Structure 1
Amino acid sequence: MSSELIRMLIIIAAIALFFAIFFSVIPVRLWISALASGVRIGILSLVGMRLRRVRPSDVVRPMIKATKAGLTISINQLESHLLSGGDVDHVVDALIAAHRAKLQLTYEQAAAIDLAGRDVLEAVRMSVKPKIIETPSIIAVAKDGIEVKAIARVTVRANLTRLIGGAGEETVIARVGEGIVTTVGSAENHKSVLENPDSISEMVLNKGLDSGTAFEILSIDIADIDLGKNIGAKLQIEQAEADKQIAQAKAEERRAKAIALEQEMKAKVEEMRARVVEAEAQIPLAISEALKKGNLGVLDYYNMENIKADTRMRELIAEEDDPDEIVG
């Protein structure tokens, strides 16, 4: 192989290597597409994106869409949002949708909403087409104690100005549930709630439940309403049972006190009987002592015994006779 042929092959390989490196570093086709779409961007800008580890297509293609839609956005804004961790394609789509729907949404607002973690495109769609949020079964109790179960459908529209820092769907559902519980609880009876379920919607809607949320509540409709347990009767039964147990406990306490008092009285009676027996046992000793000392004569002692015997006989006769005959 001649030296000239080798030199020619080296030149061809060098040229091929140069073009391979050139086209890998500089996205020429993307640059041509951008120019054909009216997007003015320099080759050096694309090279700079490569150096900053940014895929040029992730910035240029959304820029082409925005330019075609008549939006005024700079390449630097899109690249900065991408480097911040945002979704450039989503932001541009949201701006195009807002522009078509004639909604007031700036690039800064859309980028801030996207960086806040919210779906900015879905928010724009909700601004154009409201969303229906259905609450779970909400249980409330009217003044007559009857349980009322209600399911509400809340029609909301996204509020683009309050998406950043505004509360989400969970807060709306919680507030609507609280409003339904309060409204039903203020009703005199469950019949009035069943007859006018729209009154619940009106009262709840007038409470301004969308304050501080990312939504604007358009309507609240009661989708289903049903009756549950008689909570009032159940509470009365439980209260009556509790009162019964309290009364039984107090009666048992009084019974225990009465038994204790009876036992105490019996003990006192037995004590008194014991004292009487003890005293009676002392009588013969006293009589004997009196006879010894001459304080009591023998005849006096016999007279006393006769009186005692006579008294005992009279008592026995009185017990045997009819009380009516004795009175007669």
Structure 2
Amino acid sequence: MNGVDGMDGIGGGMGGMNDGPGRLGAFLQARRSRLRPDDIGLKTYGERRRVPGLRREELALLAGVSASYYTRLEQGQSHNASPEILDALARALGLDESERRHVHDLAASGARGHKGLRRPPEEHLSDATRHLLDALTDVPAVVLGRRTDVLGWNALGHALFAAHLPADGPDHAPRRPNMATLVFLDPDTRALYADWETKARTVVANLREVAGRHPDDARLASLIGELTMRSAEFGAMWADHQVRPCDATPHTMDHPLIGAVTLTQQALRTADDQTVVVAHTAPGSASRAALTLLADLLADRADLLADRNAPVRPKS
């Protein structure tokens, strides 16, 4: 279910982690094409444009660089952009802080040169994160690795996000669920989200951010390549070049046991580049009552299983 093994070379060839002449150039071109002259107060006097967005020379002028230099940068022919130039381009494009950091990550990767993908070591749940997960008994919680592999979840997290999957799935690396794969390829997970597209775009934007920080991760490239091949929706969203690390995102879920529940999925990054996703609801809300009901259902099921497994005492 994790969708990463055996496909290490796909990310570059399928529009994955390596895009055309250069990942930085592809990102700049995508953002330039979405910035209209009106957005920056540029007068066009009704002229017809062959392509949407700003022209290269217009963006270069805004950033204070020469048009020829910017053209080389966008075409992947220059890999020596200074931090000051990158910041100027980010300002000209109206990028937020996450996107600005992404530009610097892409530039650093281009400056180092492409050294090929490498298979990183298998991720494991650290003792500290496991203890944190054990302590989170009253809220749904899931621990995701760098590539959104599920490294662990508590009982409520499993019941909320993936009750249709084996509870011990994260304990076995070869068959760990992968949240990005579930969102795009698993019908049960897709049906959970009332606004599936918003959830899906959040997943893709997070993968873009991670790919910028880890351009040589073969497992990540493989995951992106597989999703690109198997989901046209993923491919279209990946081509948008949206960048956003996981933070706090509200979602309405349509759960098969407790019905509609509105909650915030709060992502907390650990020191070892893992993410603890905690789902919380507003105090006193109907959604808080629904999560309490889910916890009660789990407790009742645990009691039932305990009764079934209890040894039979002989009659006196």
TM-score category (smaller protein): under 0.3
RCO higher in structure (CA 8 A, sep ≥6): 2
Taking structure 1 as the reference length, what is the TM-score of the superposition? 0.22
Which structure features the higher share of helix residues?
A: 1
Taking structure 2 as the reference length, the TM-score comes to: 0.22
